[in-house]
Amino acid sequence: MDIKEEKHLSTALQISSFKTALKGFEKLIEHVAAQKRDERAGLFIQKEDAIDYDKFYAAVEELFGPEVKNQDVKCFYRKLCNNPDVSVDWCEIFGYFSSEEDTLASQMDEDNLVFLVSRKQRVVISGSRRRDVIKCIVKIPQFDLLVTASQKGLITVFNSQMRVQTSTTVKDTSWITGCDYLSQLKRIVATTERTIIVWDYKAQGSGQENYFVIKPVDHCLLCVCVVSLPDQVCRDDILLGDDGGFVNKFTVNSDDFGLKQAKAKKKLQNQVLDSKNFKSVKRKLHNDWVMKIRYIAALSCFGSCSLDSVHSLVLESLKRLEDNLPVREFSMPRGANTFCYCTKANVIVTGGDDKVLRLWHPNISTKPVGKLVGHMFSITEIVANEKDQHIISLSSAK
């Protein structure tokens, strides 16, 4: 056999192998498209039969080899997830498109954009050299301030121009898990895994480093929110979620900190307060960690979500924390990591490890009124843009 015949045979084998790969690719697309149609119809899919992005990428790499790029495969998979009936071409898996419109659509879809960011700014906090992550961001609209709390204990207050106004460092062996603003007491509350921190951010000079530590607590605190009621004067209610499935309510008054704060300024040291001296109630509402807790003023109730598949979301009035009466519960597969309430649309949006956004009417807990799919990783945060009626969700994708 001469060289020409060898080349011809090699080319024929490559073509045959590629055609076989294309047939396998078509079957893979049909399988994924059928799965996405079933998901939109609300049908249950066995976990072992479901094809997520990792399985899809592994199958494509096995068919076409390591030449395929992760970015191109991800764009292709997202396109298929967004519209299972869309026409696709195998060349798109290699980043080639038949028209400029398809290329632009792919680039837009790559970031899953619903709006364009016109300007972004990087804020660097001077004096902070250690590796850290922001655990919580809270807006204080009445003063146009922004509060951030980092995992390792740095609490910072920014003005509207994102300039640091003041900051303090919580010297605790446990990590910060959340923060919020006490609207009546005009202080910042933060939680570590084992303590509640109350900080007077308006203090000047050495007083900036002084805060109150409330402890002990029965379980590891995971989330916090403040109940803002207009009829309350010099008093705030703090809602806490923990790893035992409990929702706790702590009531703090100005008297709890007024006299002791004056002493703290003289001694220049942090004050430790016994949690037993505060009015508090708690109730076990979930069988797993409480991931998020919020007070929804428009509904006059609080909401708490958990990884619990049965008691995934609880929506109730504060009075239910003081008794054992039945509560409003929403159930979803694998629970919920987060939720938000859209006032104008009157819907609650939940998201979790099953990567599906569910829209619920607050008074109908048996079935969601709608579903949104498209995430390829666990949903970690949801917010509502009331003005434009957008649901903005974040996932754990890097």
The partner residues of 326 in beta bridges, in order of sequence, read: none
Which residue, 276, 361, 281, 362, is CA-closest to 318?
281
pLDDT at res. 56: 85
pLDDT confidence of residue 120 = 59
Helices (H) and strands (E) in the chain, counts: 5, 23
Write the burial class of residue 54 (CB in 10 Å: 0-12 exposed, 13-18 middle, 19+ buried).
exposed
Is the distance from CB of 283 to CB of 247 less than 8 angstroms? yes
What is the per-residue pLDDT for 14? Answer: 63
Specify whether the CB–CB gap between 250 and 180 falls below 8 A: no
List b or e across 342-371, with b for residues whose CB sees 16 or more CB atoms inside 10 angstroms. Answer: beeeebbbbbbbbbbbbbbebeebeebeee
CA distance 345 to 360: 10
Q: What angle do CA 356, 361, 363 make, to 5 degrees?
A: 135
pLDDT of residue 207: 55
Q: Could you read off the pLDDT tens digit of each residue along the chain, which spans 398 residues?
A: 555 555 555 565 666 677 787 788 888 888 888 888 877 776 766 667 778 888 888 888 888 887 777 777 887 787 777 777 777 776 777 666 554 444 444 444 444 444 545 455 666 665 555 678 888 999 998 889 999 999 999 999 999 888 899 999 888 778 999 999 999 999 999 999 899 999 989 877 655 667 899 988 999 999 999 998 877 788 899 999 999 999 999 999 888 776 444 444 445 457 889 899 999 999 999 999 999 999 999 999 999 999 999 999 999 999 999 999 999 999 999 999 999 999 999 999 999 999 999 999 999 999 999 999 989 899 999 999 998 889 999 998 87
Say if residue 102 is exposed, middle or buried (CB neighbours under 10 Å; 0-12, 13-18, 19+): middle
* Closest to 245 in 3D by CA, of 285, 293, 195, 191: 285
Domains of the chain: 11-110 (no CATH), 134-395 (2.130.10.10)
Residue 113: its pLDDT value, please? 45
| Phi, psi (degrees; rounded to nearest 5) at 148 | -125, 150
Q: Are 357 and 393 in contact (CB under 8 A)?
A: yes
- Count of CB atoms within 10 A of residue 145's CB? 18
The per-residue b/e assignment along 290-313, b for 16 or more CB within 10 angstroms, e otherwise, is bbbbbbbeebebbbbbbbbbebbb
DSSP type of residue 188: E
pTM: 0.69
Q: What is the C-alpha separation between 77 and 192, in angstroms, rounded?
A: 40
Ramachandran region of residue 359, left (φ > 0), alpha (ψ -120 to 50) or beta?
Answer: beta
CA distance 140 to 118: 24
Report the DSSP beta bridge partners of residue 141: none
* DSSP assigned state of 175: P
Cis peptide before 368 (omega within 30 of 0): no
DSSP bridge partners of 196: 191, 214
Give residue 108's pLDDT: 43
Q: Which residues, 6 or more positions from 291, have their beta carbon under 8 angstroms from its beta carbon?
A: 222, 223, 241, 305, 306, 307, 335, 336, 337, 338
User: First and final CA of the chain: distance in angstroms?
Assistant: 52
